[in-house]
């Protein structure tokens, strides 16, 4: 079967179009990497046919031999659906973790997202705590980005506000959100800071830039960012309407966590 008909290319094309439509990923904003099983890649590609070898600026040996579907650097999410082979690529990490084999896509000399160091470091961090982890997603989700200008950047405060804005938030991300300092995108430094947070939280905010999410599949990861972004949107309306007059009490949030069998970050609820 053609790789264009593969589940992984179709799903990534659909989600990038959706994220663009939501206004979260202007121009080339945002990037996504998906870990794919070798057997699934082999259904669509000759894995001995390496199209290009791309250097890697850091040691990814913990991902040696792993296959990823990635978005290209400078590529627009809005264009993926009509031209997947120009905007996406399938890569394999070399055995020494110092280069990538390109097996499909990234046509016309394109390269993987400039945020590959952050993505790979986050994959390594998440795989250490969840062997079923597959997806890292970065987006410039509008209301979350706006909140990083007006809200305290204390992780507990930020998480509590999001939990209070929609009842389902605590159920969807009981692990909360973490926040790194403002850092230069695409650097190893921002990758190290983000991945250090990723062991404990699947959502990491980049102030004045966007958000990182991690999950077991595209739906789960998109849903995670979508839920946090919805809460940030509600927060924006609440602020515009004159601020909070009543909210969900910590006792009610604890009862919610108990009812849904989730554990809130210890110390985040005053109960």
Q: Which of 183, 170, 143, 152 is nearest to 224 (CA)?
A: 170
Residues 132-191 interacting with ligand 13P (rule: CB under 6 A):
138, 185
* Least Cβ distance, residue 185 to Zn ion (angstroms): 6
Lookup result for tokens 């079923």: 132
The whole-angstrom separation of Cα 104 and Cα 110 is 11
Q: How far is CA 212 from CA 110, 237, 254, 270, in A?
A: 23, 23, 26, 27
Q: Which is nearer to Zn ion, 84 or 210 (CB)?
A: 210
Active-site annotation holder among 11, 86, 115, 155:
115
The span from the CA of 210 to the CA of 188, in Å, is 17
Tell me how many residues contact Zn ion (CB under 5 A): 1
Picking from 116, 128, 98, 97, the residue whose alpha carbon sits closest to that of residue 191 is 116
Distance of alpha carbon 252 from alpha carbon 219, whole angstroms: 28
Shorter beta-carbon distance to ligand 13P: residue 105 or 174: 105
The whole-angstrom separation of Cα 177 and Cα 1 is 40
Q: Which of 33, 113, 142, 227 is close enough to bind ligand 13P by CB under 6 A? A: 113
Q: Report how many residues bind ligand 13P under the rule CB under 6 A.
A: 12
Q: Which is nearer to ligand 13P, 61 or 73 (CB)?
A: 73
Q: Any catalytic annotation for residue 115?
A: yes
Maximum Cα interatomic distance, the chain, rounded to a whole number of Å: 62
Vertex 90, ends 40 and 24: CA angle to 5°?
110
Least distance in angstroms from the C-beta of 236 to ligand 13P: 22
Among ligand 13P, Zn ion, none, residue 114 binds (CB under 5-8 Å by kind): ligand 13P
C-alpha angle with apex 217: 126 to 163, nearest 5 degrees? 75
Please choose, out of 27-35, 40-48, 214-222, 243-251, the segment that lies near ligand 13P by the rule CB under 6 A. Answer: 27-35
Question: What's the rounded Cα separation, in Å, for the pair 196 and 199?
Answer: 6
Helix, strand, coil share (%) of the chain residues, nearest 5: 45, 20, 40
> Taking contact as CB under 6 A, which single stretch among the options 34-42, 97-105, 107-115, 155-163 is the one that binds ligand 13P?
107-115
**What residues between 182 and 241 interact with Zn ion by CB under 5 A?**
210
Q: Does 31 bind ligand 13P (CB under 6 A)?
A: yes
Closest approach, Cβ 29 to Zn ion, in A, equals 5
Residue ranges in 53-72 that form contacts with ligand 13P under rule CB under 6 A: 71
In the complex, least distance from residue 249 CB atom to ligand 13P, rounded to whole angstroms: 38
Name the one residue in this structure whose structure tokens are 């999950």.
215
Between 210 and 215, name the residue whose CB sits nearer to Zn ion.
Answer: 210
Of 47, 79, 114, 247, the residue at the interface with ligand 13P (CB under 6 A) is: 114
Binding site for ligand 13P (CB under 6 A): 28-31, 71, 73-74, 113-115, 138, 185
Binding site for Zn ion (CB under 5 A): 210
- Which residues are catalytic, by number? 115
């Amino acid at each position: 079967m053609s790789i264009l008909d593969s589940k992984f290319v179709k799903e990534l094309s659909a989600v990038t179009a959706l994220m663009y439509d939501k206004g979260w990923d202007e121009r080339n904003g945002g990037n996504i990497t998906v870990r794919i099983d070798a057997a699934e890649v082999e259904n669509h590609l000759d894995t001995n046919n390496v199209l290009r070898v791309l250097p890697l600026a850091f040691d990814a040996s913990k991902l040696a031999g792993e296959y990823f579907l990635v978005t290209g650097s400078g590529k627009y999410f809005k264009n993926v659906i009509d031209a997947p082979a120009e905007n996406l690529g399938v890569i394999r990490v070399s055995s020494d973790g110092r280069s990538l084999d390109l097996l499909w896509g990234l046509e016309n000399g394109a390269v993987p997202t400039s945020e590959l160091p952050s993505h790979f470091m986050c994959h390594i961090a998440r795989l250490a705590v969840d062997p079923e982890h597959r997806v890292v997603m970065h987006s410039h989700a509008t209301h979350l980005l706006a909140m990083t200008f007006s809200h305290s950047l204390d992780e507990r405060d930020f998480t509590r506000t999001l939990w209070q804005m929609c009842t389902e938030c605590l159920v969807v991300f009981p692990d909360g959100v973490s926040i790194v300092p403002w850092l230069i995108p695409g650097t190893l430094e921002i990758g190290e800071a983000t991945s250090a947070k990723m062991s404990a939280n699947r959502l990491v905010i980049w102030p004045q830039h966007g958000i990182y999410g991690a999950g077991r599949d595209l739906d789960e990861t998109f849903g995670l960012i979508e839920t946090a972004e919805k809460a940030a949107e509600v927060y924006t309306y609440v602020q515009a309407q004159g601020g909070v007059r009543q909210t969900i009490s910590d006792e009610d949030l604890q009862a919610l966590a108990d009812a849904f069998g989730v554990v809130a970050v210890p110390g985040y609820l005053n109960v």
